[in-house]
């Protein structure tokens, strides 16, 4: 499931998730788009959409230890960079 446009039906009493973009970059022929939660009511994880030729080919979920109220904790950023780094290292051009 991609995050763009992901919203729950309020009539059924579900929360409207509105993740925000954390950043994006391109490497080894892939585009990496990282999303983060905008509130404590959302799953506390980064979602990394990985694109090739403008299509999402994979989605990674990286858990966060801390709710990003005033920004992302450095330990959460380190975990994200490690996980994405391992993915990139395993890629072939």
Question: pLDDT for 17-42, tens place per residue?
Answer: 788 999 999 999 999 999 999 888 89
pLDDT confidence of 70, banded at 50, 70, 90?
Answer: confident
| Confidence check: pLDDT of 77 > 50 | yes
Give the domain extent around 74: 10-90
State the pLDDT confidence band at 47, using cuts at 50, 70 and 90. very high
The C-alpha angle 8, 34, 57, rounded to 5 degrees, equals 85
To the question of pTM greater than 0.85 for the whole model, the response is: no
Residue 5 within any structural domain of the chain? no
In a domain, 4, yes or no: no
H-assigned helices in the chain? 74-90
Query: How many domains does the chain divide into?
Result: 1
């Amino acid at each position: 499931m991609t995050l763009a446009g992901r919203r729950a039906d309020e009539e059924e009493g579900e929360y409207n998730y509105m993740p925000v973009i954390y950043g994006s970059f391109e490497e080894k022929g892939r585009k990496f788009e990282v999303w983060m939660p905008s509130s404590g009511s959302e799953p506390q994880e980064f979602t990394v959409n990985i694109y090739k030729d403008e299509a999402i080919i994979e989605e990674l979920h990286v858990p966060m230890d801390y709710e990003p109220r005033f920004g992302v904790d450095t330990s959460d950023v380190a975990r994200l960079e490690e996980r994405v780094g391992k993915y990139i290292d395993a890629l072939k051009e």
